[in-house]
Structure 1
Amino acid sequence: MALVRSAHPEASSSSDASPSISSHDVFLSFRGEDTRKTFTDHLCTALMNAGFRTFRDDNDLQRGEYIKPELEKAIEQSRSSVIVFSKDYASSGWCLDELLMIMERRRTADHIVLPVFYDVDPSHVRKQTGSLAKAFAGHERNQFLKYKVKRWREALTEAADLSGMVLQNEADGYA
């Protein structure tokens, strides 16, 4: 999942921001290999052009820092999240961990979550069928991930139950 920090000077310095202060309007969550150079790039540009301070991990993570704490901080300091579910989203443990953080933030704070189902059926996300079933079969074979699989499944179901947008992959991300 990638998010881009806006050029607003007050948003660029996150060291003095507390978790209760929003540094970003939107945190973008996505599987980079699926949509980074297409739909998500267009979405991020549109959000930023509309004045939304947007966090995308490929631009905003500090080099040399641990990824998970940086992502947690970005999610905590965002007012909302847009989750771009794609066919291979669930194959990434990073994406699924990020989803857990986003859904937890939704439950404990006034954090808005908008799911975008990009070239994937919402029912496949909700029930983990289709390409998601294949991804979970792989996760379940890994002994170290077994304890997370149940939580990941619950988070996917919870996110898929939210009202969102269903988009088909047309014209390189322009639906």
Structure 2
Amino acid sequence: MTPPSIKYDVFLSFRGEDTRNNFTSHLHKALIDKQIETFFDHNINKGDEITPALRKAIEESRISVVIFSEHYASSTWCLDELVHILECMKHYTQKVIPVFHNIDPSVIRNRTGVIADAFKKHEYRYKDSVDQVQRWKDALKEAANLAGFFSSFSKCESEIIQQIVEYILKILNDRSPSDNSNLVGTESKIK
């Protein structure tokens, strides 16, 4: 597959009801403050179809940050995004960074607790689409096995966000040409 042209440094995948107005919005602001071009779902133009616009934004991103939360797996939108993100990781060498927000990675990986409950509903609702449900399960396990960040109620949110931003800056700067002094538009993202 031919990689698409890159428009975004980062794509944020998250369950809106869990994290939109707290962790994710704070992470988004921290990324923007460091001039990291970030796709947040409010970037979709009014009137655009959501699914094609999201798929395109995922493909046009260097890095996807997947913010797993309590209800992430209850959303088939989130699960479809995750499957596409992992496809882009395999085909376009996109970097995927999982963030486990107030949920243990083992709950995601092993599909226990609230994740198991969500999949019982998916299996009932999509009993004629067993393959699709299996893709979601496989994607959750694969993403939960990637090295990532753990944010819990007992940890300082701003410190975790700072660590994530610094990690993203390192990835972006490692991908830059080593001698870019004569190139236009490739100045370092580190301020």
How high is the TM-score relative to the length of structure 2? 0.78
Indicate how the Cα distance of structure 1 residues 64 and 172 shifts in structure 2: closer, same or farther if over 3 A, else same.
farther
- 1:134 matched to 2:117: yes
**4+ aligned runs moved over 2 Å, structure 1:** 143-147, 169-175
**Identical residues among aligned pairs (%):** 46
Task: Determine whether 1:88 maps to 2:75.
Answer: no
Tell me the equivalent position of 1:169.
153
Letter in 1 for 2:124: R
Partner in structure 2 of residue 123 of structure 1: 106
String of CA shifts for 1:36-74, please: whole Å, max 9, x gaps: 0000000000011011000011x1112112111101110
- 1:163 aligned counterpart, secondary structure: coil
How far is the alpha carbon of 1:147 from its aligned partner? 3.0
Matches within 5 A, 1:21-170: 21-57=5-41, 59-142=42-125, 143-169=127-153
Give the conservation status (yes or no) of the 8 Å contact 1:139–1:146: no
Give the paired residue count.
157
Cα distance in 1, alignment partners of residues 128 and 78 from structure 2: 17
Q: Tell whether the 8 Å contact from 2:39 to 2:57 is kept in structure 1 after alignment.
A: yes
Which protein is bigger by CA-based radius of gyration?
2
Distance 1:66 1:170 in 2: 39
Conservation of the 8 A alpha-carbon contact between 2:11 and 2:65: yes
Of 125-134 and 163-172, more deviation after overlay is shown by 163-172
Which residue type is aligned with residue 168 of structure 1? Answer: S
TM-score by length of 1: 0.85
Q: Which runs of 5+ in 2 are unaligned?
A: 161-191
Deviation digits for residues 63-86 of structure 1 (CA, Å, limit 9, x no counterpart): 112111101110111001000000
